[in-house]
Amino acid sequence: MKDILTELNDRREAARLGGGQKRLDAQHGRGKLTARERIDLLVDEGSFEEFDMFVTHRCTDFGMEKQKPAGDGVVTGWGTINGRMVYVFSQDFTVLGGSVSATHAMKICKIMDMAMQNGAPVIGINDSGGARIQEGVDSLAGYGEVFQRNIMASGVVPQISVIMGPCAGGAVYSPAMTDFIFMVKDSSYMFVTGPDVVKTVTNEVVTAEELGGASTHTKKSSVADAAFENDVEALAEVRRLVDFLPLNNREKPPVRPFFDEPGRVEASLDTLVPDNPNTPYDMKELILKLADEGDFYEIQEEFAKNIITGFIRLEGRTVGVVANQPMVLAGVLDIDSSRKAARFVRFCDAFEIPILTLIDVPGFLPGTTQEYRGVIKHGAKLLFAYGEATVPKVTVITRKAYGGAYVVMSSKHLRSDFNYAWPTAEIAVMGAKGATEIIHRADLDDAEKTAEHVADYEDRFANPFVAAERGFIDEVIQPRSTRKRVSRAFASLRNKKQQMPWKKHDNIPL
């Protein structure tokens, strides 16, 4: 018995060393943690239970039978984050570059299957050189199996990808299908084809960082949701995100103790909207003053800044927030902001997270660039996302709500449950000047008459009362009481049940 236990301990020690001490030191030298160190930081201390520590690959080509490291380049298992179960896989770059073999993929598939079976999130830490070339099509088949699990788990359990090294070629499509992607600045990158291939095919000279680094994917492509300075900060933020999310699509989001009065009055909100309708203000100030303890977890902060998405808590319960940002492009909707918000709304709807929409939108961004790139279809994504969402939806219009953008942004016509407006709200087909130029075209040469028409239009339509008379606005509320009214609205909707007509699936305009 003693001999077996000694062998067990020896095997475990060898498996924990991964590719050996020299490669572990090299990993640290690049400013990166090892696969096991990352898991230790991610989950609660002492909670991680590992699977398949002794699994090895089965390849016998190209001399691979002579090197069979235990674990085959990925550490898999489950643990807890603040006492709530999560499944984790962490690729080990020190073992054959973290390359994916058939057995490596099998280990990942195993924990993804268990996550779906037991209803817990999957967190994947990616640090891999890609497919293991020596295994050929077996490696590609492994990727395909992982992709299929990503598709099956989508909308069933939250999936979070953390890119902490290279993620190239076909490997990028697994994170791309997950709900959230986090990257680490200067040490992680994602691309389908690398700089060398790009240069060969297109003659473009580009670095890995420029092509697929954290800055590129958070600011330009929107592939990643956030980027952090180092591994430690990224893993801490993943823990914080998991605290906002339900474990699966059959559970409500977690409820945590709160120390903020739901009826708290914020007198400063009465003066948040400037007197001049063209003067911008920071919508994040409103979000922070509505949230419990001012805690706001923003998603895709660096991309499409004219719309804000993220999570807050009201009375200790998670709420998804979508808000126009007047500080950027006056808060207009465009292609990027529509895509960003639509994806966020659909995530919230999939996991029973109520949605709060804060509106100050002058319309869609005009111009040939937007039209040529398909703003019609991209704008329709946000319209579709709000219209199909059956979770509690509360809307607050702070200032402008013009034209089609008013309808798109969770209006009463898209089955929003509570639609509030501040006294400063303006709900109309368009702004007074543009409307006057169309309605009173004959008087355009007369400046005095035009000014009268503009003033008349503003008096009649630049307010929330016409919409309130039609029942499109449920109540015109005082800005200072917004937290109280929104909290009570969501509290009244906790048992909401709403269903869409039966269908295999919808056909959102992709």
- Domain limits of the chain? 2-242, 267-425+463-492, 431-462
Catalogue the active-site residues.
169-170, 404-405
User: Rounded CA gap, 87 and 119, in Å?
Assistant: 10
Q: Is the predicted pLDDT of residue 19 greater than 80, yes or no? A: no
User: Rounded CA gap, 233 and 162, in Å?
Assistant: 12
Please give the helix or strand (H or E) that residue 5 lies within, else none: helix 2-16
Q: Which CATH architecture has domain 267-425+463-492?
A: Alpha-Beta Complex (3.90)
pLDDT bin (cut points 50, 70, 90) of residue 129 is: confident
| Mean pLDDT within 134-161 | 93
- Per the CB < 8 A criterion, the answer to whether 121 and 158 are in contact is yes
**How crowded is the C-beta side of 268, counted as CA atoms within 13 Å?**
8
Q: Is the predicted pLDDT of residue 431 greater than 90, yes or no? A: no
Of the given ranges (200-204, 356-360, 483-487), which has the lowest mean pLDDT? 200-204
| Mean pLDDT within 262-289 | 95
Please give the helix or strand (H or E) that residue 106 lies within, else none: helix 102-118
What is the secondary structure of 194-206 as a DSSP string? -HHHHHHHH----
- Per the CB < 8 A criterion, the answer to whether 192 and 217 are in contact is no
Intrachain domains 2-242 and 267-425+463-492 with the same fold? yes
Local structure of 151: helix, strand or coil: helix
User: How many CB atoms sit inside 10 A of residue 429's CB?
Assistant: 13
How confident is the model at residue 82, as a pLDDT?
96
- What is the tally of helices (H) and strands (E) in the chain? 19, 17
Both tokens of 385, joined, read 């996302």
**What is the C-alpha end-to-end distance of the chain, expressed in Å?**
61
pLDDT bin (cut points 50, 70, 90) of residue 54 is: confident
Q: Is the predicted pLDDT of residue 458 greater than 80, yes or no? A: no
| Mean pLDDT within 4-23 | 78
User: Rounded CA gap, 479 and 270, in Å?
Assistant: 5
Q: Is the predicted pLDDT of residue 417 greater than 90, yes or no? A: yes
pLDDT bin (cut points 50, 70, 90) of residue 382 is: very high
Q: Is the predicted pLDDT of residue 456 greater than 90, yes or no? A: no
137 CA to centre of own chain: 33
160 CA to centre of own chain: 9
| Mean pLDDT within 228-240 | 96
Q: Is the predicted pLDDT of residue 286 greater than 90, yes or no? A: yes
User: Rounded CA gap, 9 and 12, in Å?
Assistant: 5
User: Rounded CA gap, 214 and 223, in Å?
Assistant: 9
User: Rounded CA gap, 84 and 88, in Å?
Assistant: 13
User: Rounded CA gap, 245 and 22, in Å?
Assistant: 39
Query: What does the pLDDT look like over 61-109, one tens digit per residue?
Result: 777 777 778 788 899 999 999 999 999 999 998 888 888 888 999 999 9
Phi-psi bin for 382: left (phi > 0), alpha (psi -120 to 50), beta?
alpha
pTM reported for the whole predicted model: 0.94
The CATH number of the structural domain formed by 2-242 is: 3.90.226.10
- Measured in degrees and rounded to the nearest 5, phi and psi for residue 491 equal -60, -35
Both tokens of 449, joined, read 């008459």
| Mean pLDDT within 125-136 | 85
Mean of pLDDT over the chain: 92
How confident is the model at residue 53, as a pLDDT?
83
